[in-house]
Amino acid sequence: MKFKTTPYHSDLLKDTDRLSAFWQAIQDYDGNNELAYDLGCGSGVLSYFLSSYFKEIIAIEVDKKTSLIAKDNLSDFENIQVVNSDVLEYDFTEKADLIVCEMLDTALIDEEEIPVLNYAKRFLKEDGKIIPQAIINTAELVNLERHYLHWDEGVNYEVISEPVVYSQFDFLDEIAPEFEADLSLKANEDGNINGLKITTYTKLNENLIVGPLPMLNPPLIIPLDERFVKENDLINVKLKYIMGKGIESIETCYL
């Protein structure tokens, strides 16, 4: 099926690894199949995947232009309803068996997955499921060529420590958007450090975890004050941010 898209959603569709991961997670779904919500449906491709499995899909998209494109793409499917609305303002009238919410970004800092799910999962059945199921966040010390906050998109840097898992969230749990943690990272060589690399892995279900992809959670590089370290030095860093409030909410400092 050929999808009409915005330029941004065209890039999403070109990330075939991302699409195949969500397709596999939907194929693996083994719960009831009465109603699914597709939150932030974009061009509607995930609703299209869901259409073979569910009697009814309600696809919600806040951007009016994008929602019209999704309606056009999905017009032949009688079991899909596309709604132009902010999820946080939508009047849910039925409880769903499955929520699909691909509002994903590195550590969920620059995307509204947490506030959206904290609200919408009140309208999930007691035995209902969410795709993706969880995320896992890791951190590493790095030496940056570009000493400013940016995503890892072909830039040069040197990793100076092993990755450490600093947080993981199951989306069925209630999650506070305000995040704060004290990280302890061990240098694996002598050198200068001046940044922190944050990497997010997406757990789509119990058997499927995907790492960063071109359009799914590219690692985020956060600058730190420059410091010389020796191999096996333990470096302690405080990391704070608010999920859904953007990269401007990030704060870091050495402890």
pLDDT in tens, 238-252: 999 999 999 999 999
Q: How far is the first Cα of the chain from the last one, in angstroms, to the nearest whole number?
A: 53
Mean pLDDT of 181-194: 97
Indicate whether 192 pLDDT > 70. yes
Q: Cβ(61)–Cβ(72) under 8 Å? A: no
Q: Cβ(131)–Cβ(204) under 8 Å? A: yes
Indicate whether 3 pLDDT > 80. no
Q: What is the pTM of this model?
A: 0.93
- What mean pLDDT, rounded, does the chain reach? 94
Q: For residue range 203-225, list pLDDT tens digits in order.
A: 999 999 998 887 788 899 999 99
7 cis-preceded (ω within 30 degrees of 0): no
Q: What topology does CATH give the domain 134-254?
A: Hnrnp arginine n-methyltransferase1 (2.70.160)
Q: What is the pLDDT of residue 129?
A: 98
Q: What is the pLDDT of residue 50?
A: 98
Q: What is the pLDDT of residue 214?
A: 75
Confidence of residue 198 (pLDDT cuts 50, 70, 90): very high
Q: What is the pLDDT of residue 154?
A: 67
Judged by DSSP in three states, 234 sits in strand
Q: Which residues pair with 144 in a beta bridge?
A: 157
Ranking 13-17, 55-59, 233-237 by mean pLDDT, the lowest is 13-17
Q: Write down the CATH number for the domain with range 7-102.
A: 3.40.50.150
Secondary-structure percent of the chain, ordered helix, strand, coil, rounded to 5: 20, 40, 35
Distance CA 164, CA 182 (A): 12
Domain boundaries, the chain: 7-102, 134-254
